[in-house]
Amino acid sequence: MSSARCRSAPACALVFFVGAAAAQPCIPDPTPDWMTAVPLASSSVAPRPADCAVVEQSPPDLSWPDLSADTSYVVTLTYPNGSTRSRAAAYNWINWDEALPAGNYSWQVQANNASGSQVSRPRRFSVDATATPFVVPDWTVLYNRAAAKPRPRALPDPPTAQLMLEQRAAEFGWLRALVESRLADPLPPEPTVGPAELVTAQVREECRRTLEAAMVWLTSSQPEHLADALRRALNLAAWDPRGVTAYANLDEASRDIAWTLALAYDWLYPWIDPAQRAALRAPLLTRATDMYYDLLGGRPRIAVHPYASHGNTTLTVLAAITTLLAGDVPEAQGGLRDALPLAIHWTSPWGGEDGAFANGTAYAQWTAGDSLIAWYVLRWVTDVNLAGKAWTRNHARYLAYFLPPGTPAGAFGDGAEQQLTENWARFGKAHALFAPSPLGRWYAAQLSGEERTRLDYLLAPPADGAPAPYPAGTPDSALFASTGWAALHSSLADAARTSIYFKSSPYGSYNHSHADQNSFVVHAGGQALAIDSGYYDGYATPHWWQWYKQTRAHNAITFDGGQGQSVFEEAGQVGRGTLTAFERHATHDIVTGDASAAYGGALSEARRSLVYLRPSQLLVYDRLASATPRRWEWNIHALDLMSMLGEGRIAISRNGQSLCVEMLAGPATQFTQTDQFSVPPAMAAAPQWHGRFASVDVLPGAEFIALLNVGCGAATASASKTDGVWTVRVDARTVTIGADGTISVQ
């Protein structure tokens, strides 16, 4: 398999090399076993690594579905020389305790419970020659490291801290001025009953102010700064951990308070008396205990169902808290034992080693923002550097391709429509400092607008000051197979680029993802043209339920008046898509997704291929079928009213950029558009336009071939079908679509 071609995703015909023998393709084994039989309601974990994976981390993370609450496991690893080694696992994951040399391996899991024993089929993986070693020490080693650290322990070593202070002297000066401007401010009272989002925002703001005051004390040694930090921390500590901000009521708010108290306890420890320490420690322990029992008590919920946007972040924060309490309270030992190895294992459950994030581009930023300081603390306190994880190392690549410099919006998921310039810059730069890579450093250097007094930015590792050029040979398109996302750019390095995003994801419509498999987004020249429509006015609002999350809100296929794919929260079905082909070439890219399963049995076939003819033309080919005849609908969304150019032809314009759409082939259709939502968003928001090419007739199947032309330049295009094969001519190029869906470009 060349680096530019990938078929039969998600495994994409991965290749194993054995000695000097010719390369042999590893074809994923579809044979069912007990792992594939575990229903989603029981465990949402997919086997990792998947059959035929090539891993970049040694050892890889090993996890699997949890069979039942009374099951224990034995994991057996077969080495390249045929030898085996087995280890017991109480739960559905294990951190293997040795780095694995390059070579071909297999693993299988024996599940033991009251009903007997079952052994999974072997799943193969290859450790790449460039794989980075990442061995997680035993929890006792981690606990002893943490307990032995002098306080304040949640800080870098003195030489590193001094370098950070020197590099960011202006920023620390600004922070000091900000803190001093608030010295006389009254303390906020404990929140009373109110909207959850408002109370959480109020809590987060006061937590931020408390930690800023504590950081200024550490850098200034001025008594008024210590007094301000302590008064704020003691005020937070006085809030009833069983009251409005209890974990059971507001999990994020309680987590933020616990984390703030933990850092304040550590940062102020040498300068406060035992009674003040106890006043901070007691409510912190109560809140952390609630977190522990929710995530880890009994059968660890977060191991069985790791795809919880709040829960996984809380696990990371809880793990960091246990390192700060190690040696002070007996509960810290058991908490660290159960939380820290699992937090290191997952790091992020929303993607694989490729660094992707299935829960959407906005939540990729927000989740990292909530985790960065905890990652720093784990490095400082336990010497576990999460930058060594394959997902963390590669996450900057995901950011560069899906939130490239100059982008007007994100791509998919809740919040994708928002222009989060400050978040993009701050988190992008902090991540590049934490886990530097050539592409990540270039990416960070292109960003601006960050709030430079925020602690996640100030506490990031020092910069090296070296130039950060665009890495030579960086391709303009990328596949992220673990999430079924692809990004196709005219030129990634050019801020005026054309960008096309496509998804057909195994994560389906779960959580902050939408029912938008086989959908696409088109940006050009810094403008959003073909958009993901709707507004994120809150989780599970009427607008979220009835529009934002639904297939009809996206550039995807619906039928019979806007019916679409399964929404997990409604139907209990994930509504998965599968990215089945990806080819990257200098002049064009091809990507294909199969969303047939996403429609909950309503459709027997729903396949879409994008053929990007660089730099400005995009062919979209759909093949659809249903046992019940349907009125098929090809949806397109824009920020402005679309112009009718003629039969089957429309144009989208936005601030000097344009996108023309022409139906080259398909059933007879009627185009309509509206600026109305099924349910409007709760806040004031600019109108959006929702276009639909709907088939005039009710049909059991349909094929659509559409040409999207960025810039609306003159183009000669046609499509004809002979013996089941489509021939599409676009100017001087010919695209052939075989009866089996295979596509070639000349």
What type of residue is 545? W
CA angle (21, 25, 27) in 5-degree steps: 145
Helix (H, G, I), strand (E, B) or coil at 157: coil
Helix (H, G, I), strand (E, B) or coil at 508: coil
Q: Was domain 155-346 assigned CATH 2.40.10.10?
A: no
Please say whether the beta carbons of 612 and 621 come within 8 A.
no
Q: Which residues pair with 669 in a beta bridge?
A: 695
Q: Give the separation between CA 100 and CA 104, rounded to whole angstroms.
A: 10
737 phi and psi, to 5 degrees? Answer: -115, 110
R_g of the chain, CA atoms, integer Å:
27
User: Kind of pairing, strands 519-524 and 669-674?
Assistant: unpaired
- Could you say which of 3.30.420.40, 3.90.1530.30, 2.60.40.10, 3.50.30.60 is the CATH number of the domain covering 5-133? 2.60.40.10
Residue 41: predicted pLDDT: 84
Question: Looking at residue 563, what DSSP letter applies?
Answer: B
Per residue in 212-253, pLDDT (tens digit) is: 999 999 999 999 999 999 999 999 999 999 999 999 999 999
Q: Give the separation between CA 527 and CA 524, rounded to whole angstroms.
A: 5
- Could you say which of 3.30.1330.20, 2.40.50.140, 2.70.98.70, 2.60.40.10 is the CATH number of the domain covering 481-745? 2.70.98.70
Instruction: Parse the chain into domains and list their residue ranges.
Output: 5-133, 155-346, 349-474, 481-745
Beta strand segments in 631-683, E: 632-638, 643-646, 649-654, 657-665, 669-674
526 phi and psi, to 5 degrees? Answer: 80, 15
Q: Give the separation between CA 658 and CA 712, rounded to whole angstroms.
A: 6
Q: Please count the CA atoms within 13 angstroms of the CA of 159 that sit on its side-chain side.
A: 0
Q: Give the separation between CA 81 and CA 102, rounded to whole angstroms.
A: 12
| Cβ atoms within 10 Å, residue 87 | 14
Encoding tokens for residue 728?
């599409």
Helix (H, G, I), strand (E, B) or coil at 467: coil
Give me the residues of the chain with pLDDT under 50, please. Answer: 1-22
Encoding tokens for residue 590?
């091809």
Please say whether the beta carbons of 397 and 478 come within 8 A.
yes
Residue 23: predicted pLDDT: 56
- The residue with tokens 């047939």 is 596
User: Kind of pairing, strands 15-16 and 24-25?
Assistant: antiparallel
Per residue in 482-538, pLDDT (tens digit) is: 999 999 999 999 999 999 999 999 999 999 999 999 999 999 999 999 999 999 999
Residue 24: predicted pLDDT: 74
Can you list the alpha helix ranges (DSSP code H) found in 347-475?
361-382, 390-402, 421-434, 438-446, 455-458
